[in-house]
A and B are shown apart, each in its own frame.
Chain A
Amino acid sequence: MKIEDRYDVIVVGAGPGGSRAAEVCAKGGLKTLCIEKRGEIGAPKRCAEGLSKSARERMGIELKPSWVSQVITSARVYAPNRKSIRLDYEGPEGWILERKVFDKDLAKEAARAGAKVMAKAELLGVKREDGEVKARISFHGKEREVSASIMVAADGVESKTARMLGLDTTMPLGEICSGAQFEMTNVKIDPDCIDFFFDQEMTPGGYFWIFPKGHDSANVGLGVRKPWSKKLAMEYLEEFVKNIEGLKDGSVVEVNAGAIPVGQLLENMVKDNLVVVGDAAHQVNPIHGGGIAEAYIGGTLAGETIVEAAKAKDFSEKFLSRYNERWWEQRGNRHKKILKLRQALESMSNEDLNWIVDYLDEEDIKKISKGASFAKLAQLLIKKPKLIMIAKKLM
Chain B
Amino acid sequence: MIEVDKSLCLRCGGCVATCPKSALTLTEHGLECDKDKCVSCGKCAQFCPVGALKVKK
User: A residues engaging B (CB < 8 A)?
Assistant: 37-39, 44, 46, 120, 122, 156-160, 163, 169-173, 176, 178-180, 226, 232-234, 255-259, 261
On whether the beta carbons of A157 and B50 are closer than 8 Å, the reply is no
Contact of A158 among B20, B26, B43, B48 (CB under 8 A): B26
Number of contact residues on B: which range applies? Answer: 20 to 34
Minimum Cβ distance to chain B for residue A135 (Å)? 15
- Nearest 9 interchain pairs by C-beta: A259-B14, A158-B13, A233-B49, A257-B10, A158-B16, A257-B12, A158-B26, A257-B49, A178-B49
- Contact yes or no, A232 B26, CB < 8 A: no
Contact residues in B for A234 (Cβ distance below 8 Å): 49-51
Q: Is the CB of A38 within 8 A of B12?
A: no
Q: How far is the CB of B28 from chain A (nearest CB, A)?
A: 5
- Could you tell me the distance in whole angstroms from the C-beta of A215 to the nearest C-beta in chain B? 27
Contact B27 A157 (CB under 8 A): no
Q: Is B17 an interface residue (CB 8 A)?
A: yes
Complex interface: chain B residues within 8 A of A46 (CB): 12-13
User: Can you list 7 A-B pairs with a CB-CB distance of less than 8 A?
Assistant: A38-B28, A170-B20, A176-B14, A226-B46, A234-B50, A257-B49, A259-B15
A39, A120, A122, A232: the one contacting B49 at CB < 8 Å is A232
Most interface-central of B16, B27, B43, B49 (chain A CB within 10 A): B49
> By the criterion CB–CB under 8 Å, are A157 and B17 in contact?
yes
B contact residues around A257 at 8 Å (CB): 10-12, 14, 49-50
Of B14, B26, B28, B46, which contacts A258 at CB under 8 A?
A: B14
Q: How far is the CA of A259 from the CA of B47 in the complex (A)?
A: 9
Question: If A160-B22, A163-B22 touch, does A178 touch B14 (CB 8 Å cutoff)?
Answer: yes
Q: Tell me the minimal C-beta distance from B32 to chain A in angstroms.
A: 11
Docked Cα-Cα span, A39 to B14, in Å, equals 20
Q: Is B19 an interface residue (CB 8 A)?
A: yes
CB-contact partner of B28 in A37, A170, A178, A256, under 8 A = A37
Residue B40 CB within 8 A of the other chain: no
Q: Give complex CA distance A63, B28 in Å.
A: 30
Please judge, given known A-B contacts A158-B17, A163-B22, A171-B17, whether A179 and B11 are in contact too, CB under 8 Å: no
B23-56 contacts to A, CB under 8 A, are: 25-28, 43, 46-51
